[in-house]
Amino acid sequence: MQERPLILVTNDDGITAPGIRMLVEVMKELGDVAVVAPNSPQSGMGHAITIGKPLRLVDSDIFDDVTAFECSGTPADCVKLAKHYALKDRQPDLVVSGINHGSNSSISVLYSGTMSAAIEAAIENIPAIGFSLCDYSHNADFSHIREYVKSIASKVLDEGLPKFLTLNVNFPKKQEEEIKGVRICRQARAKWEEEFEQRFDPMGQPYYWMAGNFVNFDKGEDNDEWAIANNYVSVVPIQFDLTAHHAMSVLGEWEF
């Protein structure tokens, strides 16, 4: 009999989040599943790794018939520990991260722990997908995206991905209208415009609370923000090489 693919599942909302439970259920239909996920929420951690304190990895029985571990570290730590320790005898055929409670479109990909776990897998040349639902509620409804999650993951298992790439997949929040389909997109030119409110603790010492608004400067119809706003699933291919190749010739003319 042909061996079923091994799928590593992780996230940044923590191992008890509803989103990861849905992802585990769907991935069990496609292969053998192992989970290494944070033992507490790690949203907004980006690609942080733990280097100044010990990492702890504890067996978990939270999922039925699935090998699972709770990790004290970040999402990127989870993928590293899975590769080098928890799953060291067999490399995953696919890494999936999520399903995140909230959008990871546009610039949020840089801050996202969900996407950093997927990018960490891509660094190791393991096909990977980060899944996010544009609904920040803990009780978000994932029912309308189940078949899309399965279809996209199945396609990556069958076709693979170009070397060192991962997919950033964002789903619109459930609406009365069904999702219109899938769009392959570019990352929108958008950003968070932050505000910091100064407050004071009981000792009179100041502290700061970050807030702000997300602003989309992109008027195109080929980007992830447009796709999500128009009830499409956005799929953006992501790479970890941040080199601005188009600027190298300009900088090459500088004299130092």
| Positions at the binding site for a divalent metal cation | 12-13, 43, 100
CA nearest to 217, candidates 208, 225, 228, 209: 225
**223 vs 109: CA distance, rounded Å:** 14
**Tokens standing for residue 35:** 């989970």
Confirm if 40 and 70 have CB atoms less than 8 A apart: no
Count of CA atoms in the C-beta half-sphere (13 A) of 38: 23
Q: How far apart are CA 142 and CA 145, in angstroms?
A: 6
Q: How many CB atoms lie within 10 A of CB 173?
A: 16
**Residues of each annotated binding site:** 12-13, 43, 100
Token pair for 152: 């996209």
CB atoms within 10 A of CB 227: 25
Residue 165 DSSP symbol: E
Strand-pair partners of 101: 133
Contact predicate 121/152, CB 8 Å: no
Task: List beta partners, residue 38.
Answer: 71
Quick one: which of 119, 153, 134 has its CA closest to 231? 134
- Return the structure tokens found at 111: 């801050």
